[in-house]
């Protein structure tokens, strides 16, 4: 809801890996926000697909940095709880990056 208040059109959210994969393959979006654990599965395959598609994304998670695979070391990670205003700034930055890629 907070993202929508700041002008974003939100696709989702989803609470399971299958629905998230459907969104990645079906919908057109500029930026993704990924919770590392969707249902009882980890969302690394979603992050891999976004990287292949050159779509900027960020993680929101309760997991510490050491739990994230090395290939995602440069991806911003928001550890819960986080400050929403700073999170919104990060999403705006990712949107700007996305627009330069399209």
Q: 14: which residues sit within 8 A by CB, 6+ positions away?
A: 20, 22, 23, 38
Give the chain's domain count.
Answer: 1
Dihedral of alpha carbons 72, 76, 78, 79, sign: positive
How far apart are the C-alpha atoms of 45 and 53, rounded to whole Å? 12
User: Does 102 have pLDDT greater than 70?
Assistant: no
Residue 35 tokens read as: 């919770």
Higher pLDDT, 28 or 66: 66
CATH of the domain at 80: 3.40.50.2300
Question: pLDDT tens-digit profile of 85-99?
Answer: 999 999 999 988 876
Is the distance from CB of 61 to CB of 45 less than 8 angstroms? no
Examine the pLDDT at 70 and tell me if it is beyond 90.
yes
Q: How far is Cα 55 from Cα 32, in angstroms, rounded to an integer? A: 7
């Amino acid at each position: 809801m907070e993202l929508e208040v700041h002008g974003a059109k939100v696709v989702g959210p989803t609470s399971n890996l299958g629905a998230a994969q459907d969104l990645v393959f079906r919908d057109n979006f500029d930026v993704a926000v990924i919770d590392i654990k969707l249902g009882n599965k980890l969302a690394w395959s979603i992050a891999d697909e976004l990287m292949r598609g050159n779509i900027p994304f960020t993680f929101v998670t309760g997991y510490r940095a050491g739990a994230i695979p090395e290939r995602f070391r440069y991806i911003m990670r928001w550890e819960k709880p986080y400050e929403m205003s700073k999170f919104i700034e990060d999403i705006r930055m990712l949107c700007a990056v996305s627009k330069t890629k399209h």
